[in-house]
């Protein structure tokens, strides 16, 4: 059932939460949707667009300024797959588990990446570079098996290729980090 997506409190506690986000960023969004009918989902989508997830404080602000009930917002946020209640990694790996990808063996690829990154479906790596997610269908069935990292789609994958791509991204991230420090 869908609502199982609620993250257990212990898992939330183990994630290093960033400091209280700059809530003023939400003002134009609230202004735009405040009086519209059916605004709950666009408001949550907009908030996630800003912060990459929906921070606890953002729920409270929405409640204060739009009058939307907290329980209703939380109910909707945990129902739809799109919403996150904790920050995701810098790169979100979406593994397509559509029918075509399944028949072409995507499970082995997801397992490989899961081992490589030491995370399960929906989890974020310790270095916060990757979040691994399985999704229903990316609609590129003839390129199956497919994964999407950011805006980039990678098709006709093998476990080896997929881990090569991920390692490459991680290496670049580390290089950038080193250059900064």
130-135 and 91-96 as β-strands: parallel, antiparallel, unpaired? parallel
Would you say 20 or 50 has its CB closer to another protein? 50
By the rule CB under 8 A, 99 interacts with another protein = yes
- As a whole number of angstroms, the distance between CA 152 and CA 133 comes to 15
- As a whole number of angstroms, the distance between CA 12 and CA 7 comes to 7
> Contact region for another protein (CB under 8 A) — 7-15, 51-59, 72-80, 161-169?
72-80
Query: Running DSSP on this structure, what letter comes out for residue 38?
Result: T
CB 48 → another protein: shortest distance, Å?
9
147-149 and 130-135 as β-strands: parallel, antiparallel, unpaired? unpaired
Would you say 13 or 137 has its CB closer to another protein? 137
Among 100, 116, 149, 169, binds another protein (CB under 8 A): 100
CB 111 → another protein: shortest distance, Å?
9
147-149 and 91-96 as β-strands: parallel, antiparallel, unpaired? antiparallel
Per-position x/- string for 39-58, each x denoting binding to another protein as judged by CB under 8 A, each - no binding: xxxx-xx-------------
By the rule CB under 8 A, 70 interacts with another protein = no
Per-residue three-class SS string for 84-136: CCCCCCCEEEEEECCHHHHHCCHHHHHHHHHHHHCCCCCCECCCCCEEEEEEC
Binding site for another protein (CB under 8 A): 1-4, 37-42, 44-45, 72, 75-76, 79-83, 97-100, 102-104, 108, 135-144, 146, 153-155, 159
């Amino acid at each position: 059932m869908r609502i199982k997506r609620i993250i257990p409190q212990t898992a939330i506690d183990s994630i290093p939460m960033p400091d209280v986000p700059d809530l003023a960023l939400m003002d134009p969004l609230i202004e735009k949707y405040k009086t519209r009918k059916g605004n709950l989902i666009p408001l949550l989508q907009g908030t996630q667009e800003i912060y990459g997830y929906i921070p606890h404080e953002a729920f409270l602000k929405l409640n204060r300024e739009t009058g939307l009930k907290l329980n209703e917002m939380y109910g909707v946020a945990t129902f739809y797959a799109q919403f996150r209640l904790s920050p995701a990694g810098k790169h979100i790996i979406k593994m397509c588990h559509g029918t075509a990808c399944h028949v072409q063996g995507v499970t082995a690829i997801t397992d490989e990446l899961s081992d490589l990154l030491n995370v399960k479906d929906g989890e974020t790596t310790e270095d916060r570079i990757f979040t691994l997610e399985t999704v229903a269908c990316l609609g590129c069935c003839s390129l199956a098996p497919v994964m999407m990292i950011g805006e980039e789609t990678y098709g006709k994958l093998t476990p080896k290729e997929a881990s090569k791509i991920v390692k490459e991204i991680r290496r670049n991230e580390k290089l950038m980090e080193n250059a900064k420090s």
